[in-house]
Each structure stands twice: as structure tokens, then as C-alpha cells.
């Protein structure tokens, strides 16, 4: 009986501790406990039959019971016989009992504490929760409170604010809320126009590109604030790769699907700024590929609208705006054809391991081929560059490079389809990679 007394004592203490955390298993207090092979909670005051396996669940603090497994029956019977033979008045050994009790109570208290902490954390979350609109207004106010002088101690906070705005303003409604609360005038315009810190200008132009992308109402507001000419100025004068990339992103977001902005900006400084990026020896190829991609997109945009709007009376106004747009003549005037020719003729070796950039240049060549074919077809440097890249990719095992080589082959056939250019009929082994 010693083992049975010990178990009864421990179970009583632990059940009292479990009641402090609000155990709710109170059903069937007087009903018979029906045991199964699975552990079941014993309700308070509920009687259980003899011969069950009983335990205290240390995680919940509740008393549980189940039928004995076959492997446990022999051990249980032996323990019962030993208990009956022992003196029932023999004192119970307490050598290890306090450790079990303390551990059980500790776990119960920890569980109660964790629930309290969760409730507290949830209340803090509710108290500090902000909608997107509230966050945007808060970030604008925060930026207004920064000092006007470029303090290094405030730079990190400014960059963090701009990074958060870039994320939030992808959504159309958020972008318009930002504009309505003075974000263009108080945050972005002063940075883009006057700030001397390059990192801040880059972040501000990323925010500008984020809010203007596929957002016609935001595009109009950005256009009205004359951001187009400011971005063109940055493209014409900057030598920083990150700044040029951010400016191109914002410039493209402002111009795409906005013929009025294209007309006003590209007819003045915009086209010239794009060509200057192509002509600059200090600008990396990736930035130049973004320039030709933007040019290609704008040329194709006009063609698409004119072709699809012929039989759409409701699109007459939009079509009229694109008809007046003379982007290709402006490109020719500012030297687009020789600029692109020089980029590929001088830097083609850097393209051999950059098939994605080669594809962007190839698309631009195809899109503006009718504009520049007369000069390009006479350029031995351009022919050599395109054939060299084509031959290298044609000998590659990479499927993507093989596809790009096929595009270059078709382009070369159209531009240089003359008998003396024998490279078009056979791949030059000296150019293969």
C-alpha cells in the first residue's frame, strides 16, 4: 500500500495546484468514469474503477486515467500484491516526493504566467496598431520634424521613413493619401531638388517611382509638380549608378501610358537626358540597358495605341495625343542611333556573360530598327559585336542563351544581309565561346 498512498498524496497536491489556473473539466462529477486505451481527464469528484493507469498531466495539471496496456498488467499485479503484504501503517518515504511536487507546481505557474503575458502583448498590439493611412500621415509628420540641415544623426531615421513609404505607396489609395497630405511638397520634392545626400535622393526617387507606377492620378500630380524636368536633370548630370537607376525608375513610372507627360517632357530635356546616359562612358551597361528598354517601351506603346484605337470611337482623344507625339524624330535628332551603335560596338565583350542585358538591347534594336537601319547596316563595329555575341551563345548549352542567339541571328539577317558578310551563313569559330 505504500506506493498507492504515495501516489494519492502527490496527486492531491498537484490537482490543488491545477485548480489555481482555472481547470474547467467539471462535467460528469458523479457519473461513472468509462476508461479506454487513451488518456482521459478525470472530472473533479468523479469516481474511477480499480485497476486503471492513473497519472497527473504535468502540462495541464489535470488528473488522467486509461486502461492498463498488456505490458503493464503484470507489473501492476505484482505491485498490488507487494502492497497488500506491506504494513499499511508504515511511514511513507519522502526522499523524492518534494522534487516532483515542486516541478509540477512550477510548470503550472509558468503556464499561467505565459497566458498573462500573451494577454498583455495583445493589448499592447491593439493599442499600437495603425492603419496604412495613419502610418503614412505619421511618417510625413515625422519627416517634417526633421531638421532642415543635413545632420548625420538623422540620416538613418530619414532613410527608414522613406523605405517604409516606398513599401506603403505601391497601393493606389495609399499613394493618393500621401499626395493629399502634402507628401510630394514636404518630403519628396525638397529631397530630389535640393538635398545633397545621394542616399536620400536615391530613396526619394524610389518612393516617387513606387507611387507613380500604374497610378494615373498620382502621375498627374507628379507631372504638375515638375518632377519630370528634375529627373531629367539628374539623368544628365549624375555619374552615380544607383542614382541613375532610381531616376530611370521614377522617370519611366511618370511617362508610361501618359502621353501628355511624354509630349511635354521628352520634347524638351527628357529625350536628351536619356541619350546622354547612353553616351556617357562612366555609366554601367545595366543602366544603359534600362534606358533602351524605356525607349523601346515608349515606342511600342504609341504603336499599340494607334493600331488598337482605329475602331474604338471612345479612344479618339487618347489616339489624338499619341498622334501628336513625335518621340522617334526626337530620338534621331539627339543622336540615338549612333549612341546605341557605339555602346554595343565598344562594350560587347562585357555582354558575353549577361544574356538578359543582351536581350534588352536586342529588343531595342528590333523596336527602333526602322528608325536606324540605314546607319546600323553600314556599321562594321555593330555587325562584329552582334555576330560575336550570337556565335558565343549559339555554342552554349544554356537554353536561354540559345534563344537569344536566334533573336540576334534574325536581326543580323535583316541588317547585314549582304553577300560579303559571310559570317551570317556560317558561325566563325574564332568568335565561338
Q: What is the DSSP string of 326-366?
A: -HHHHHHHTTHHHHHHHHHHHHHHHHTT-HHHHHHHHHHHH
Residue 419 DSSP SS3: coil
Hey, CA dihedral for 360, 366, 368, 369, is it positive or negative?
positive
> Residue 38 has which C-alpha cell?
487513451
- Residue 318: per-residue pLDDT: 85
Residue indicated by cell numbers 482521459: 40
- Predicted confidence band of residue 217 (pLDDT cuts 50, 70, 90): very high
pLDDT at 171 > cutoff 70: yes
Q: What is the pTM of this model?
A: 0.68
Residue entry with cell 540559345: 402
* Residue 306 neighbours by CB distance under 10 Å: 14
Residue 141 or residue 105, greater confidence? 141
Judged by average pLDDT, the poorest of 60-64, 352-356, 391-395 is 60-64
Question: Strand 52-56 and strand 40-41: pairing?
Answer: unpaired
pLDDT confidence bin for 34, thresholds 50/70/90: confident
Taking all residues of the chain, what is their mean pLDDT, rounded to a whole number?
Answer: 82
Q: How far is CA 188 from the centre of its chain?
A: 22
Amino acid at each position: 500500500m505504500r506506493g498507492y498512498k504515495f501516489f494519492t498524496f502527490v496527486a492531491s497536491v498537484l490537482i490543488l495546484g491545477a485548480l489555481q489556473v482555472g481547470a474547467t473539466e467539471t462535467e460528469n462529477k458523479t457519473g461513472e468514469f468509462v476508461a479506454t486505451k487513451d488518456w482521459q481527464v478525470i472530472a473533479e469528484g468523479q469516481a474511477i474503477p480499480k485497476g486503471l493507469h492513473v497519472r497527473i498531466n504535468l502540462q495541464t495539471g489535470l488528473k488522467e486515467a486509461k486502461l492498463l496496456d498488456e505490458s503493464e498488467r503484470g507489473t501492476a499485479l505484482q505491485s498490488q500484491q507487494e502492497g497488500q503484504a506491506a504494513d499499511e501503517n508504515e511511514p511513507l518515504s519522502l526522499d523524492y516526493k518534494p522534487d516532483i511536487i515542486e516541478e509540477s507546481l512550477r510548470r503550472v505557474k509558468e503556464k499561467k504566467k505565459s497566458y498573462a503575458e500573451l494577454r498583455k502583448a495583445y493589448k499592447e498590439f491593439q493599442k499600437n496598431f495603425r492603419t496604412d493611412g495613419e502610418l503614412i500621415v505619421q511618417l510625413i509628420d515625422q519627416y517634417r520634424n526633421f531638421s532642415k540641415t543635413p545632420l548625420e544623426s538623422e540620416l538613418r531615421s530619414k532613410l527608414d521613413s522613406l523605405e517604409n513609404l516606398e513599401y506603403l505607396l505601391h497601393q493606389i489609395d495609399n499613394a493618393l493619401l500621401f499626395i493629399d497630405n502634402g507628401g510630394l511638397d514636404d518630403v519628396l520634392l525638397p529631397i530630389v531638388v535640393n538635398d545633397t545626400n545621394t542616399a536620400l535622393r536615391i530613396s526619394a526617387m524610389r518612393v516617387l517611382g513606387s507611387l507613380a507606377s500604374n497610378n494615373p492620378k498620382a502621375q498627374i500630380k507628379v507631372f504638375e509638380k515638375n518632377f519630370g524636368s528634375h529627373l531629367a536633370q539628374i539623368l544628365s548630370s549624375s555619374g552615380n549608378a544607383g542614382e541613375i537607376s532610381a531616376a530611370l525608375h521614377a522617370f519611366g513610372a511618370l511617362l508610361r501610358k501618359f502621353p501628355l507627360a511624354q509630349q511635354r517632357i521628352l520634347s524638351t530635356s527628357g529625350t536628351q537626358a536619356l541619350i546622354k546616359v547612353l553616351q556617357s562612358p562612366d555609366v554601367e551597361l545595366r543602366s544603359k540597358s534600362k534606358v533602351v528598354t524605356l525607349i523601346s517601351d515608349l515606342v511600342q506603346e504609341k504603336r499599340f495605341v494607334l493600331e488598337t484605337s482605329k475602331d474604338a470611337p471612345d479612344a479618339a482623344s487618347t489616339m489624338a495625343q499619341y498622334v501628336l507625339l513625335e518621340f522617334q524624330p526626337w530620338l534621331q535628332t539627339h543622336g540615338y542611333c549612333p549612341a546605341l551603335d557605339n555602346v554595343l560596338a565598344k562594350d560587347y565583350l562585357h555582354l558575353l556573360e549577361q544574356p538578359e542585358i543582351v536581350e534588352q538591347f536586342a529588343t531595342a534594336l528590333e523596336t527602333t530598327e526602322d528608325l536606324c537601319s540605314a546607319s546600323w547596316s553600314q556599321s562594321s563595329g555593330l555587325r562584329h559585336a552582334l555576330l560575336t555575341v550570337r556565335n558565343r551563345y549559339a555554342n552554349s548549352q544554356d537554353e536561354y542563351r540559345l534563344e537569344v542567339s536566334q533573336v540576334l541571328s534574325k536581326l543580323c539577317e535583316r541588317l547585314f544581309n549582304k553577300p560579303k558578310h559571310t559570317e551570317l551563313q556560317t558561325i566563325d569559330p574564332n568568335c565561338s565561346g
